[in-house]
């Protein structure tokens, strides 16, 4: 007999499949190839964070290396996106640096772009430190910054001084009111403010949002400031908009997560949108 938890997980997986490539590295590579054949670039992320098992960390690092090598072999315009706590930051800074160095050396040989995801605010300083250290060794390295944090404007200005490559996101983590903007209105306002700074002072950046109003504003800014940038969106979200942007000659990247740790990621996506909560409800009723 199927228990309530098993049923819930089965229904969630059915919904989650639109946002994740699957459980394995082969699923991720197939998804990246499909994105590439449809005119999009691929940014692959192995799901999972806060790893403290050295075995799990080594597997994660090896898989990123395999993905980088496959991109090189297949000549796919792709990148990997790494979370510091999945490659050792939850053990020590030294462990994280040692592992990130392996990924960076590999990426440098293969000419593959590497992104650093930004996790919750307790890791912002450490993540920027990692970026600064490795950006001096490898220029095809980018870092995500979150518009919901009040500190981000200063971080952005500092990072742009060294020519950093930025992915601007709204921010996926629940943060204290003292350090963050809480309402959607304030986060959106700050996003637009930071995006203007990026268009004026940055280059090779990513506007990572599914928000139609923000995307329109970015399109307009790009006419005034013709910079090298791309729209980045999660796999399976705003798929109707992506070809339209490509047709207008914008670069669009699909962020493609894979791996067995799909549940927290998918719950985040469900919570983001009322329609997805309704979809979960109706799927449960039908099961
Ligand atoms: P918001 O959530 O305000 O939604 C605006 C509109 O977009 C909605 O009204 C709807 O039209 C559409 N939309 C949004 N979500 C949808 C969904 N699930 N299904 C259908 N439509 C939807 N965060 C972080 O903290 N660190 C990181 O490193 C990253 N990295 C990252 C990479 C990439 C490529 C993306 C796209 C996002 C991230 N994020 C992230 C996540 C980010 O911070 C944020 O939580 C989500 O992108 C949702 O915010 P939006 O900008 O889409 O706007």
Domains parsed from the chain with CATH numbers: 1-20+262-287 (no CATH), 27-258 (3.20.20.220)
Residue with tokens 């070809």: 243
Comparing CA positions, the residue from 29, 38, 74, 80 lying closest to residue 246 is 38
Give the bridge partners for 80, in sequence order.
Answer: 44, 114
String of DSSP letters for 188-232:
HHHHHHHHHHHHHH--SEEEE---HHHHHHHHHHHHHS---EEEE
> How does pLDDT run across 183-220, given as a tens digit for each residue?
999 999 999 999 999 999 999 999 999 999 999 999 99
Which atom in ligand 1 lies closest to the alpha carbon of residue 169? 43
From the CA of 78, how far away is ligand 1's center (Å)? 20
> How does pLDDT run across 3-15, given as a tens digit for each residue?
767 777 777 777 7
From the CA of 112, how far away is ligand 1's center (Å)? 24
Residue identifier of the C-alpha nearest atom 41 of ligand 1: 172
User: Is 117 an active-site residue?
Assistant: yes
In short, whether 116's Cβ falls inside 6 Å of ligand 1 is no
From the CA of 275, how far away is ligand 1's center (Å)? 14
Which atom in ligand 1 lies closest to the alpha carbon of residue 233? 36
> How does pLDDT run across 148-166, given as a tens digit for each residue?
999 999 999 999 999 999 9
> How does pLDDT run across 16-39, given as a tens digit for each residue?
788 899 999 999 999 999 999 999
């Amino acid at each position: 007999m199927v228990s309530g938890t098993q049923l819930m997980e089965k229904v969630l997986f059915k919904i989650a499949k639109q946002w994740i490539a699957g459980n394995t590295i082969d699923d991720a590579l197939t998804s990246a190839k499909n994105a590439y054949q449809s005119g999009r670039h691929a940014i692959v992320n192995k799901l999972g964070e806060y790893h403290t098992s050295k075995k799990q960390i080594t597997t994660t690092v090896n898989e990123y290396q395999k993905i980088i090598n496959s991109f090189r072999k297949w000549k796919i315009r792709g990148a990997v996106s790494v979370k510091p706590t999945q490659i050792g930051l939850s053990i020590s800074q030294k462990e994280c640096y040692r592992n990130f160095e392996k990924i960076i050396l590999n990426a440098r040989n293969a000419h593959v772009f590497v992104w650093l995801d930004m996790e919750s605010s307790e890791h912002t300083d450490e993540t920027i430190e990692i970026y600064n250290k490795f950006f001096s060794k490898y220029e095809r390295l980018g870092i995500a910054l979150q518009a919901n944090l009040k500190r981000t404007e200063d971080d952005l200005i500092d990072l742009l001084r060294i020519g950093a490559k930025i992915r601007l996101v709204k921010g996926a983590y629940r943060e204290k009111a003292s350090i963050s903007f809480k309402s959607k209105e304030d986060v959106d306002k700050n996003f637009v403010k930071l995006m203007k700074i990026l268009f004026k002072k940055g280059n090779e950046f990513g506007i990572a949002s599914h928000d139609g109003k923000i995307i329109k504003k970015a399109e307009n800014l790009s006419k005034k400031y013709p910079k090298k940038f791309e729209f980045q969106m999660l796999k399976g979200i705003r798929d109707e908009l992506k070809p339209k942007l490509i047709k207008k000659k914008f670069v669009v990247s699909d962020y493609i997560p894979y791996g067995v740790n799909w549940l927290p990621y998918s719950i985040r996506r469900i919570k983001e949108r009322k329609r997805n909560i309704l979809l979960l409800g109706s799927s449960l009723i039908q099961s």
